[in-house]
Structure formats: C-alpha cells, structure tokens
Amino acid sequence: MTRCGLTPLTTPAPAPVRHDQEWLNKRVDLPGGYRTSRRDVLRLTSLAAGVGCFWVAGTRAKAMSFASPQALLNALMPPPVRGRHTTRVVTRRA
C-alpha cells in the first residue's frame, strides 16, 4: 500500500544485491580449525580495540586525572595565533 491507501498494480523491484554484504558474510578459516565470518572478525577486532582503549585509560588513570576538559579542548583546537599585522587602537592619555 502507498501513502494514499492504494495498492500498486505492479510488484516492486527486488532490492539490488550488495556485494559488500556478501563479502562480509564469507567464511574465513582460522588457525586451529576454527571458522568464522569476516563480519565476526571485524566485530571482535572492534571490541579488542575498545578494550585496549579502556585498559590504557585505566593504567594511566593518575595522569588522566590532571587533564581538565579545558586543557583537552586547547590541545585539540588551539586558539588562533595573532599575526604581526594586527591593528590596534592606541589611545593617549592627556
């Protein structure tokens, strides 16, 4: 059914075959006689990377306690440097 409640006279075209999905679902032989899919390998690699990040943060908790949110923002996005040709308004006192 469409939005207006009418049934189309023709059937919709089948979805195109996605080759990247087929590639991810292919089986991979691992050492020791184990088999898995590429999708599972990517999933486990992502999980291992996340665990590694938490491990590094946990083992360096003392150093991370000194980092303030403002210091992290300054490290990621340093303030713009003023050039030599900036104009300043100088007022003299009488």
Confirm whether 86 is domain-assigned: no
For the full predicted model, state whether its pTM sits above 0.75: no
Q: Which range marks the domain in which residue 27 is found?
A: 23-62
Confirm whether 28 is domain-assigned: yes
Amino acid, res. 4: C
* The residue to which tokens 């020791």 are assigned: 32
Burial class (CB within 10 angstroms; exposed 0-12, middle 13-18, buried 19+) of 39? middle
Distance, CA of 6 to CA of 70 (rounded, Å): 58
Phi and psi, residue 91, nearest 5° = -110, 140
pLDDT in tens, 11-70: 666 666 677 788 888 888 888 888 888 899 899 999 999 999 999 989 998 887 777 888
Count of domains forming the chain: 1
